[in-house]
Amino acid sequence: MTDTTGNQGGNPSGRPIRTFGRIGGRALSARQQALVDDLLPKLQVPEGLSDPQTLFPGLTETWLEIGFGGGEHLAEQARRNPDAGIIGCEPFIEGMAKALTQVNADGLSNVRLRMDDARPLVDGLAPGSLARVFIMFPDPWPKKRQQKRRLIQPDFLDSLHRACRKGARVRFATDVASYADEALWRFLQHGGYRWLAEGADDWRRPPADHVTTRYETKRLGDCAPVWCDFEII
């Protein structure tokens, strides 16, 4: 796997450039630590996963959320859509602990988790594995020198497109204007993603099935949230 800039020489180590910031935070409570120690191993997505349906026997399709933050969106989508198996990837341990708390409290059997970079998981999935993908407010890396770290890069879009089935839906949201412009351009340049917007309200207003998260309410970006829904073609 090359780095996500598409530039072979961009990272002398040969490892993909990290698209997320810190992974540690405040000390976990005893209850949270117990969930990380005991529940996470039971829900952990195994290394080398090819067919995600093996994680969800009897369910109709698999969804993926990349970078779920505190897990509010992930847990609510799982509650609303019990026939979909949902994989959530989040490298930040405090976010993982919060998500585990919700999954445990609500007895959500259709959630599996990965506390790591989502890109190797996506790379390893069999073609056509995913029916829906959420990329909600990924790390924007707003400074120009940092922007090579943004998740939405050509190599990633190639891998994601291959892992999604035809007609799958991909939702990208950001509250950083430069990232909104760049990501939309990259999706459209790829050629395999059809933007579903028909008017300005389609990207200015939250979609009907959106779940508001704690991050959104903080309004940390430099613009109102932008919502881009795409269909795999």
Contact 62, 53 (CB under 8 A): yes
What is the per-residue pLDDT for 213? 87
Residue 169 lies in a domain: yes
Which strands make up the sheet holding 61-66, listed edge to edge? 111-114, 84-89, 61-66, 130-136, 164-174, 226-232, 193-195
- Does a structural domain hold residue 219? yes
Q: Is residue 150 part of a domain?
A: yes
Q: What is the pLDDT of residues 135-191, one digit of tens each?
A: 999 998 877 777 888 999 999 999 999 999 999 999 999 999 999 999 999 999 999
- 1 part of a folded domain: no
- Rounded mean pLDDT of 101-106? 96
Domain CATH for 38: 3.40.50.150
Share of residues in the chain with pLDDT > 70 (%): 89
Q: How many residues does the chain have?
A: 233
pLDDT at 9: 35
pLDDT of residue 14: 53
User: Which among 230, 216, 226 has a CA at the least distance from the CA of 164?
Assistant: 230
Number of domains the chain is built from: 1
Query: Is 2 within the bounds of a domain?
Result: no
Strands 164-174 and 84-89: unpaired
What value does the mean pLDDT take over residues 197-202?
96
- pLDDT for 16: 56
> What pLDDT digit, counting tens, does each position of 74-90 carry?
999 999 999 999 999 99
In a domain, 3, yes or no: no
Positions marked catalytic: 139
- Strand 111-114 relative to strand 164-174, pairing: unpaired
Judge whether residue 65 has pLDDT over 80.
yes
Owning domain of residue 63: 8-232
pTM for the predicted model, two decimal places: 0.88
